[in-house]
Chains A and B, each alone.
Chain A
Amino acid sequence: MQIPVATHRLPNGLTVVLSEDHSAPIVAVNLWYHVGSANEREGRTGFAHLFEHMLFQGSAHVGSNEHFELIQRAGGTLNGSTWLERTNYFETVPSNQLAMALWLEADRMGALLPAMTQEKLDTQRDVVKNERRWSVDNQPYGTWWERLPALTFPPEHPFHHSLIGSMDHLSAASLEDIAEFFRAYYTPDNAVLTIAGDFDEPAALALVREYFGAIPRGAARPPLPPMDLPERFGTWHRATVEDDVMLPRLFLAFRAPVFGSALHYAGSVAAAVLGMRKGSRLYQQLVREAEVASDVTAFTYDLSKGADLLVVDATARPGVTPEALEAAVVAEIDRLCHEGAHEDEVARALALIETDFISTMQSAGDRADKLSMFATYFGDAQLVNTQLDRYREVTADAVTEFARARFGADNRASLMFIPRRSGAEGA
C-alpha cells in the first residue's frame, strides 16, 4: 500500500501536500498550524484552544459561524482540534466543493482579525468554560489529562500546563492576545495545507496559489524554550487524587523517546504488547486471570518534541484496593523487563498496528491529517509510507531492551484516583 504524495512550497512559506485518489467523489482539506498549548505564554493556559474556537467566528469575508454553515450546506463535515504542539482545522467535502473549503481556510488565515469582537470572544470564552465543565470538571477522572502532564513534565516545561486551561486564565484572555497570537503563529510559513482525495493536481494547486499566495509570511515566532529532557524521570513520581469516583484508577506513565525517533517504534510496540486489546499482557493477566481490573489499556501520547509519554491506564474491579491495583500493574511491567518479550506477542502487536493503519488510511480526512502531521513535525509528508516498515523492523529483543531501559523504578509516575471517603455513596 502506497499513499501518493506530492509536496510543494509557496513563496510565502506555505507547505502544500497533495494526495490524489479518485475512488470516491470526496476531497479532504486539512490545515495544521505548528502551534499548540506549548506555545502559550505565562498566565494564558487554555489560550491556543480558545483561539481555535475563534477561528469559527468569521473572518473578513465570512460571517460568524458561517464557516460551519457553508461547509455543511456544501454537504461536508468539518472541525478543528488543539493539541500540545499543533492545532488543526479540517473539512471533508464533495469534490466539486474543494474551492469553497480552500477559500474559507484562506480567508481566516489571511484576514481573521477584522472579524474579531469582544462579544464573540466573551461568548466563546463561556462556551469553552462549559467545555471544561463538561469534559473535565463534571466527569469522573476528568482531570487526569491535565494532572498527568503536570506530574510528568517539570513546571517550566511547555508540556507541563493544562491544555483546556484554568478558568482564571480563560477569563483573562483579551482581544489583544488574539491579535498577538494570530500574527505570531497563524502565518503561511507556520502551516501545512494538505489536500487528499478526488481532485486534479494542477487545478488544485492553482486554487491554492490564488487563495493563499498573497498572504504574507510571518515575522520571527517566539521560540519555544528548551524542550529536551533526560531519558528517565530519575525517580518514581506519585500523586493521589480523591475524586467523586466509585473505583480506583491508575495512570502509570513512563518518559519515552519522542515520536518519530528510532526508539519510538519499539516503545509503541511495547505499549501494544502490554495493553493493546484483549490479547495483551496486562489485559490477560489483570482482567482475565487475576480479575483485579475491569479494564486496562496502554498507549503513547506521540509527542514529537523533548520527550513522549507511554501510559498504562487501569481501572480496579470493585473491592480491589488502589495498592493491589498498582502492585498488579507493576508486577506485569517488571515481568516484561525480567523475562523479555516473545516473538509471537510482538507479531500480534504488529498485526494489530498494521490493520489499524490500513483502516485509518481508508478515509480521506484521516489520510490528510497523517500527511499534515508528518510534514509539520518532520518536514516530510512521505514518511507516511515508511511507517509500517519502521514498525516491522521492531524485534522482540528491541522491545525487551526498551522495557529494561525505560520501565524501571526510576522512570515511573503513578497518578492514582481514589473514591472520596465521605462523598462516595456505596453501591
Chain B
Amino acid sequence: MTFSPRPGAGPSRDYRFPAVERATLSNGVTLAVARQPRLPLVTLLALVDAGATSDAAGLEGAASLTARALTEGTRRIEGGALALEVERLGSGLDASADWDDALVHLSVTPERLPRAFALLGEVLTEPAFRARDVDRLREERLADLLQQQVEPRSLADDKFSFHLFAPGSRYGQPADGNSDSVATLDASRVRAAYAARYAPTTTTIVAVGDVTLARARELAEATIGNWRAPAAPAVALDDSTRPEGRRVCVITKSDAPQSELRVGHAGVPRLHPDYFPIVVMNALLGGLFSSRINLNLRERNAFTYGARSAFEWRRGAGPFVVSTAVKTDVTAAATREILAEIERMREDTVAQDELELATAYLDGVFPIRYETTQSVAQAIAIAKTFGLPDDYFTKYRAAVRAVSAEDVRRAARTYLHPERLLVIAVGDAEAIRGPLEALDIGPVHVETSTT
C-alpha cells in the first residue's frame, strides 16, 4: 500500500460575518437584525442591561431570579399556560442573567414569528411575578446550592471567586446568589429589581435568520414599541480583589478520588486595548487542546482528563483561571506544573510556529463559530454588552493575525502574575494538604465545604 503525501491548503474562500442592520423603535428600544435565510428559522433574543452586577449587597441573585421569573407568567397568561403557548410555536422560552445582562431567547420557524414576537414582548413588558412562581424558583436555586456542596466543579469555581475578590465586589458571590441572599428574595424584591433595570433604553432586541429588518421592525414596534419605563442608571462596577499574595486554600471533600484545581488571579475588563494579544497568549498557555498546560498535564504526565486556562470576559475585570481535575496523589505535582507553565509563558518569546498555532486557529475557526442563528445572535448581543465597535466582526480575523510573538510576551508579562496566584483545591484535604505545603508556594489553609 502506498501513501499520499501530506496535503497543503487550497485557496481560501471569502467569508463575511452576516451584516447587522440596526434601528431604534419609537420608544427607544434598539433593534439589531442579521438576515440569514439559509434555513426556515429565526432566533429572537432580548438583551437587557440587568445582569448580576446590578444586585444590591445582601440581595445577590435578585437579577438572576428576576430574569428567570420573566417567563413564569404575564399579567394575561399564567405560567403553565405560557409555557404551553410558547412551546406550541416549537420553542422553549429561556431566560437567564449573566454578570452584565439579562437574556431571553427563542427560535421559531418564520411563519410563527408574529406570535413569537408578541410573547417575547409580553414577558419583557408585562411580567406578573406571582408570589408562588417566584417562591418556587427561589426554592429551586436553594436546592441547587444544596446539591453544590457535593458537586466539586461548581464548588471549586465559587470558592475561587469568593477567595479572589474583595468582600465588597459582586464578583465574589455566585451570579445566581448564595444561600443567605437567595433566602431573602421574594416577589416584591423581584418586582423592585425589575422596576429598577428593565426599560426601553436598556433593552436590545436581536433577530437573526430568515427575516428582514423591515419585517422585524414592524413586529417589534407592534409588540414592544408601546412599552414605557424610566431609564435605568449605569451599574457601578467594583471588581476589586483581596490584597493577599500567593496562597492555597483546600476545600474538604473527603474520599474524593480527584482534586478539582483552580489557579489564577484577576484578569482584565473585556473592552481592553490588549484583548487580542491576551486571547492569543491564553490560547497558547491553556486555551487550546495543543496548549502548553494541556499537553503537560494530560499528554505528558497523564495527571488529568483535561486542563485549560481562560480569561473570563465581563465588563469589569473577571478572573483569569486555570481549571483542571487531577488524581488526588498528584495534586501538588500538577499545581507545581501549572505554576511553572505560567512562569515559562512570561519568560519565553514564543517561536513563530507556536504563535501560528493560535493565530491560525482563531482566524480559521471564526466562520465555524457562526454557523447557527443562535450563535450569531449571541455574538451580536456580546458586542452590544461590551460596546464593541461596529466593525468588530469584520476586523476580528485581521486583528488576530496581527498579534506578534512580542505582543504575546508583553501580554504574558503584563497580565500573568505568578506572585498573586490563588490556588483552590477541592478534594481529600488529609491527603493533599501536606504535599501542597511542601511545595512552599504560600500559606495553605483548609476549610470544609458546608455552608
Binding site for B on A (CB under 8 A): 1, 23-26, 60-61, 64-65, 68-69, 72-77, 92-100, 103, 106-107, 110-111, 122-124, 126-131, 133-135, 137-140, 198, 210-211, 214-216, 244-247, 277-279, 283-284, 287-289, 291, 294-295, 315, 317-318, 344, 347-348, 351-352, 354-355, 358-359, 361-364, 424-425, 427
Contact = CB atoms under 8 A, between A and B. Distances in A.
Given A26-B368, A277-B92, A355-B108, A246 B146 contact: yes
Given A23-B38, A61-B3, A72-B290, A123 B299 contact: yes
Contacts of B362: 75
Given A61-B6, A130-B302, A133-B257, A139 B151 contact: yes
Contacts of A124: 302
A69 B371 contact: no
B7 interface: yes
A315 B10 CA distance: 52
Interface stretch (B134-142, B164-172, B238-246, B263-271): B134-142
Interface string B121-159: 000000000000000100110111011011111000000
B162 interface: no
Contacts of A129: 327
Interface string B395-427: 000000000000000000000000000000000
B256 A103 contact: no
A168 to B, nearest CB: 15
Contacts of B234: none
A346 to B, nearest CB: 11
B109 A211 contact: no
Interface of B: 1-4, 6-15, 38-41, 79-80, 83-84, 86-92, 107-109, 136, 139-140, 142-144, 146-147, 149-153, 179, 256-258, 260, 288-290, 295, 298-299, 302-305, 325-327, 356-357, 360-368, 371-374, 450
24 contacts: A1-B40, A24-B371, A26-B368, A75-B363, A94-B364, A96-B12, A97-B9, A99-B8, A100-B8, A130-B305, A134-B304, A138-B325, A215-B1, A244-B150, A245-B147, A283-B83, A289-B80, A354-B90, A355-B41, A355-B109, A358-B39, A358-B41, A362-B373, A424-B150
Contacts of B374: 359
A76 B289 CA distance: 12
Contacts of A277: 83, 87, 92
B88 A425 contact: no
A348 B87 contact: yes
Given A25-B12, A73-B357, A75-B368, 9 more contacts: A24-B15, A26-B368, A65-B295, A94-B13, A99-B9, A130-B326, A133-B258, A277-B92, A358-B40
B128 to A, nearest CB: 14
Contacts of B86: 279
A103 B368 contact: no
Contact of B139 (A128, A140, A317, A424): A317
Given A133-B258, A134-B305, A279 B87 contact: yes
B160 to A, nearest CB: 17
A364 B365 CA distance: 13
A16 to B, nearest CB: 17
A129 B329 CA distance: 14
A355 B371 CA distance: 16
A94 B84 contact: no
B84 A25 contact: no
Contact of B88 (A97, A134, A348): A348
Contacts of B107: 355, 359
Contact of B140 (A97, A294, A351, A424): A294
Contact of B87 (A97, A198, A351): A351
A133 B295 contact: no
List 8 tightest A-B contacts by C-beta distance, closest first: A75-B364, A126-B302, A351-B90, A355-B90, A99-B7, A25-B13, A96-B10, A278-B83
Contacts of A76: 364-365, 368
Most chain A beta-carbon contacts within 10 A, residue among B14, B147, B360 = B147
B350 to A, nearest CB: 14
Contact of B80 (A60, A93, A288, A425): A288
B7 A127 contact: no
Contacts of B151: 139-140
Contacts of B357: 69, 72-73
B325 A100 contact: no
A364 B371 contact: yes
Contacts of B11: 96
Contacts of B326: 130
A295 B305 CA distance: 29
Contacts of B146: 246-247, 318, 427
A347 B112 CA distance: 14
Contact of A75 (B40, B89, B360, B371): B360
B371 A94 contact: no
Given A74-B360, A215-B1, A92 B87 contact: no
A140 B150 contact: yes
Nearest to A320: B143
B206 to A, nearest CB: 16
Contacts of B90: 351-352, 354-355
A20 B128 CA distance: 48
A398 B89 CA distance: 22
Contacts of B150: 140, 244-246, 424
A108 to B, nearest CB: 12
Contacts of B363: 75
B7 A100 contact: yes
B41 to A, nearest CB: 5
A60 B8 CA distance: 18
A123 B300 CA distance: 8
A424 B253 CA distance: 11
Contacts of B367: 24-26, 94
B256 A198 contact: no
A354 B109 contact: yes
Contacts of B289: 68, 72
Contact of B356 (A73, A247, A355): A73
B290 A68 contact: yes
Contact of B256 (A60, A138, A317): A138
B83 A425 contact: no
A134 B1 contact: no
A362 B257 contact: no
A362 B39 contact: yes
A362 B365 contact: no
Contacts of B371: 24, 26, 362-364
A130 B4 CA distance: 37
A130 B368 contact: no
A131 B360 contact: no
A123 to B, nearest CB: 5
Nearest to A249: B147
Nearest to A272: B87
Given A72-B290, A123-B302, A318-B142, A130 B364 contact: no
A160 B237 CA distance: 54
Contacts of B89: 351
Contacts of B325: 130, 133-134, 138
